A and B are shown apart, each in its own frame.
Chain A
Amino acid sequence: MTGTNGNGNGNGSAVVGTSTVKQGLAQMLKGGVIMDVMNVEQAKIAEAAGAVAVMALERIPADIRRDGGVARMSDPSLIQEIKNAVTIPVMAKARIGHFVEAQILEACEVDYIDESEVLTMADDVHHIDKTQFSVPFVCGCRNLGEALRRIAEGASMLRTKGEAGTGNVVEAVRHARQVQGDIRRLQTMSKDELFVAAKELRAPYDLVKQIAEDGKLPIVNFAAGGVATPADAALMMQLGVDGVFVGSGIFKSANPEARARAIVQATTHYKDPKVLMDVSTGLGPAMVGICDIKGDPVNFRDREGGEYTYSGKVPPKKELSGYTETQMYGSSWNN
C-alpha cells in the first residue's frame, strides 16, 4: 500500500500499514498503562494521569457483566469526540469475527483495534483476518497456542485475557504464567518434538519454531482483565508482561484520578517496593469486584473463535463437588 498522507520525498514514497509500523506502535506503548474510558471527561483524566493510550467504550466490562445484553462496537461519534479531546492514541473494541465493525473503526482512524472477547462474539468460529487492515489489532490470549493463532491471523499486539470487569487479577496471572510456561517448555524441546508441540498447541509450526529459538513472543504482550490496584499492575509487570490495560479498575474505584496516577507510577517503577508503597497509600476503596470467578455466570475469557463451548449460550453455573477449602482446612476465623 502506498501512502495516503501524501508523504514522500526524493528518496522514495511512504508505505503505510507495514507490520513494522503496526507492531511498532505497541512497542512505543510498552511500560505504559492503557485505560478504558467511557466519555471525554474520563479520557482527559486518563491522559492527565499519564496513560499511554485510552480505550474508548460505551460500557466498561464491569457494566457489561452486570447488565448483560449484546455488547457491540461503540458509536463512532464517541470515538471521534475522544480522539479530538486527547493527543494520546485512542483504541476501540470490535466484536470477535466482526470485520465490518473493524472496517468502520479503521475509517474512524482509531490507532488500535481490540478484537475483544468482552464484546459479544459475532462469529464463534472465525476471527477477523487482521492482515487485511492498515490499523493494527490487539487480541487476548490465555495460553501460547491462542497467542500464536492470533499472531497468524495478523495481530500486532497481545494481551492476557484475564477476566475483565471482575477487579480480580487471578485469571490475568494465570494467563501470563501459562504463556511464559508454554514458551519455556518449547525451549527445552528438541527440533523433532516441535512438530507435535505445534499440533498440540494448535498453532502454526513456523511460529512455534520461532518461539522455541527466540524464547519470547515476537510481539508485545500486555496484561489485561482484572487489574485494579498499583500492586496488581506491578505484579503483572514483574511476571514479565510489557505493560498493563486497566479497564473497570479505575473508573469503578472511589478516586479515579489518584488511582490512575498511582497505577501509572507503579507500572514504571514496578521493581521498586518503596515507590509501590508510596503510590499505594491513601487511594481510597478499590472497585468491589468479583471473588468467585468460576461461579460467575459471565465468562469472557473462554470466548475464542472455534473454541468456545458455550457459544450462543450462558455457561451453566458449575456444581460444587467434594469439600470446600474451608471444610478441609478450617478457617482462620476459628483459631
Chain B
Amino acid sequence: MSNEKKPLVGVLSIQGAFEEHQACLEASGCRTKQIRTVADMTEGGEALDGMVLPGGESTAMGLIGTATKESGGKSVWDALRDFIEVDKKPTWGTCAGMILLAERCVGASAVIQDGQALIGGMDILVCRNYFGSQVSSFEMATPPPPTSGGEDGGMASPYPGVFIRAPAILSAGQEVTVLGKVVATPCRQAAVVLEELERKIEKGETVVQMGVVDALERDGSQLRHREVVKASPCETGEEKKELEQDASIELPGAADGSNAREVICAVRKSNLLCTAFHPELTNDHRWHQYFAQMVKESVASA
C-alpha cells in the first residue's frame, strides 16, 4: 500500500502515553502526528483524518490544553471540539482521553478553578479514578472490539484490558453503544463521590461535574463538596437544557448484593470511541485496528 493511502491520525501529545499510541497506530496501517497546539493540527496543509487522546493525567492535560490561546483566541481544546462536533472526524480517547471526551465527570479535582477541562462530545458520565490507587490497578480480560471486519475466529477471544488508576463510565446516553462492561468495587474516594451523586440524583439535581470530597475540609460530620459548574464557551443554552432533561440517569447498582457495581469500560457513539483501559500498553492491536477502520470509513465517506 502506498504511503499516500494511509490515513493521518493525530495523537494529542501534551502528556501521557502518546508514543505508545503512535507505534500501535502505525502497526495498524495509519500515519501519525504529534499534536500539541492548534497550529500542529493544520500544519503542513494536510488535514487530520482522526485523532487519539491518550492515557495520562486528565487534570494536567486539561490545564495545559486550555492554557495557551493561539491566534483567534483558540486553545487546542477549542480546536478539538470543532474537530469532533463540526468536522465529525473519528476521535478515540483512552483512560484520561476518555474523561476528556465525556460530557459529564465526577471525581474531578477539587482544587482546580474550573474543575476538569472537558472537550465533551460523548454523552457519558465518568467517574475519575473509580478503581482506586495504583496498588489496585489491574489487568483483566475484557470484551474484544466488535468484529466489523470479521477477519478470523480469533477476533472473538477476550481482550487484555490494562486498567491504570482508570476511570469508569457510570451511565451512557441513549445513542451511545456500550461495547464492554466490568464488575468492580469503587475505591473509598469514588464510593463517597457515588454516594453524594446518588443523593443529588434523588433530589433531581443535574450533575455536570463534581469534585472529590476534600476530607480535610470536613465540616463537623458533614462532608463538604466543592462543586464546579462546567464553564464551556461552546455550550449553548439549548444544549444545557438537553442535559437537564437527561437528568433521570440511573447509576449502576450493586450486582450481587456486594458493593461491586457493573460499570462500562468501552463505548462508541458515531465518530467517537472511548475505552477506560489502555490498548496502547499491550501487543494486541485489535482496538487500534478497529479505530483505524473507523478512520478509513470516515475518509471513504468524505
Q: Is A25 a contact of B64 with CB atoms below 8 Å?
A: no
* Nearest CB of chain B from residue A77's CB, rounded to whole Å: 11
Q: Is B139 a contact of A15 with CB atoms below 8 Å?
A: yes
Q: Which residue of B lies closest to A80 (CB)?
A: B215
Q: Is A3 a contact of B142 with CB atoms below 8 Å?
A: no
Which one, B60, B135, B214, contacts A52 given CB within 8 A? B60
Stretch at the interface among B42-50, B105-113, B118-126: B105-113
Q: Is A7 a contact of B140 with CB atoms below 8 Å?
A: yes
The residues in A between 134 and 152 inclusive whose CB is less than 8 angstroms from any CB of B are 134-136
* Nearest CB of chain A from residue B265's CB, rounded to whole Å: 10
Which one, A21, A50, A81, A84, contacts B139 given CB within 8 A? A21
Q: Is A20 a contact of B139 with CB atoms below 8 Å?
A: yes
Residues A50 and B111 in contact in the complex (CB < 8 Å), given A18-B139, A85-B214: no
Q: Is B19 a contact of A50 with CB atoms below 8 Å?
A: no
* Nearest CB of chain B from residue A51's CB, rounded to whole Å: 7
Q: Which residue of A lies closest to B262 (CB)?
A: A9
**Chain B hits for A7, CB < 8 A:** 131, 136, 138, 140, 182-185
- Number of B residues contacting the other chain (C-beta, 8 Å)? 66
Helix, strand, loop or mixed for chain B's interface? loop
**Chain B hits for A30, CB < 8 A:** 15-19, 56
- Number of A residues contacting the other chain (C-beta, 8 Å)? 60
Stretch at the interface among A173-181, A246-254, A263-271: A263-271
Stretch at the interface among B157-165, B170-178, B198-206, B239-247: B157-165
Digit string of A84-114 for contact with B (CB within 8 Å is 1, else 0)? 1111111000000000000000100111100
**Chain B hits for A111, CB < 8 A:** 133-135, 165
* Nearest CB of chain B from residue A260's CB, rounded to whole Å: 11
**Chain B hits for A44, CB < 8 A:** 111
Which one, A31, A85, A112, contacts B134 given CB within 8 A? A112
**Chain B hits for A5, CB < 8 A:** 131-132, 136, 138, 184-185, 187
**Chain A hits for B142, CB < 8 A:** 11
* Nearest CB of chain A from residue B23's CB, rounded to whole Å: 12
Q: Is B59 a contact of A50 with CB atoms below 8 Å?
A: yes
Q: Which residue of B lies closest to A135 (CB)?
A: B135
B293 at the interface (CB under 8 A from A): no
The interface centre, meaning the residue of A15, A84, A265 with most chain B CB atoms within 10 A of its CB, is A84
**Chain A hits for B60, CB < 8 A:** 32, 50-52, 88, 264
A239 at the interface (CB under 8 A from B): no
Q: Is A16 a contact of B15 with CB atoms below 8 Å?
A: no
**Chain B hits for A83, CB < 8 A:** 133
Q: Is B16 a contact of A31 with CB atoms below 8 Å?
A: yes
Q: Is A31 a contact of B18 with CB atoms below 8 Å?
A: yes
Q: Which residue of A lies closest to B260 (CB)?
A: A6
Helix, strand, loop or mixed for chain A's interface? mixed
Q: Is A14 a contact of B138 with CB atoms below 8 Å?
A: yes
* Nearest CB of chain A from residue B159's CB, rounded to whole Å: 9
B281 at the interface (CB under 8 A from A): yes
B278 at the interface (CB under 8 A from A): yes
Q: Is A11 a contact of B158 with CB atoms below 8 Å?
A: yes
**Chain B hits for A49, CB < 8 A:** 63
**Chain A hits for B164, CB < 8 A:** 21, 24-25, 28
Q: Is A50 a contact of B138 with CB atoms below 8 Å?
A: no
A170 at the interface (CB under 8 A from B): no
Q: List 14 A-B contacts (CB under 8 A).
A: A5-B185, A12-B158, A16-B135, A25-B137, A28-B55, A30-B16, A30-B17, A31-B16, A31-B18, A44-B111, A85-B214, A88-B59, A111-B165, A135-B134
Q: A-contacting residues of B (Cβ < 8 Å)?
A: 13-20, 36-37, 55-57, 59-60, 63-64, 67-68, 95-96, 107-113, 128-129, 131-143, 158, 162-165, 181-185, 187, 189, 212, 214-216, 258-260, 262, 278, 281-282
Q: B-contacting residues of A (Cβ < 8 Å)?
A: 3-9, 11-18, 20-22, 24-25, 27-32, 40, 44, 47-53, 81, 83-90, 106, 109-112, 134-136, 261, 264-265, 267-269, 272, 275
